[in-house]
Structure 1
Amino acid sequence: MQTLVSGVANQGSASQHGTHVASVIFGQQGSSVLGIAPGCRGLLLPIFQDGKGDGLAPCSQIDLARAITQAVEAGANIINN
């Protein structure tokens, strides 16, 4: 699946946000952290890039719409940003 984010993932804000959200949803198998939907499958489709400083670069409405379309076409039932 094509990503809308160019470049390589790093340890910046965009990566940290995605990791945090995924851990809340999926939890961690074999630990006491179950998550809110343990056992579900996830489709990770990055749309944000690290911006200048500690923030995220803006995501255009068209890129967000493209990501939602890709997720739905791939069978996503729930979409979270």
Structure 2
Amino acid sequence: MVYKNVISDVGIKFATASGDSSGEIKVVNTLINQWEELTFDFTGKVGIPSSTNIDQIIFSRILILREPLTKLSISTMLLFLPAL
């Protein structure tokens, strides 16, 4: 879940100790100043070599600001759920 006071992309990727990654997946939050659950679908990445032996979760919070912000607030809570 994410709590942001601006609408912008949120990216997540998994990486290995050698730095390999299967790439970043981005979604955009649609709510501000409240918790929102974002879903990142990595099913297309399962089984490729860079998706094994993962030891890192990397977040990117991409912001394109068209006006100055007096305060930027971003919080993240991870939930790992079993596959359906």
TM-score range (shorter-chain normalised) is 0.3 to 0.5
TM-score (norm 2): 0.31
Q: Which has the higher helix share?
A: 1
TM-score (norm 1): 0.32
Larger radius of gyration: 2
Q: Which has the higher strand share?
A: 2
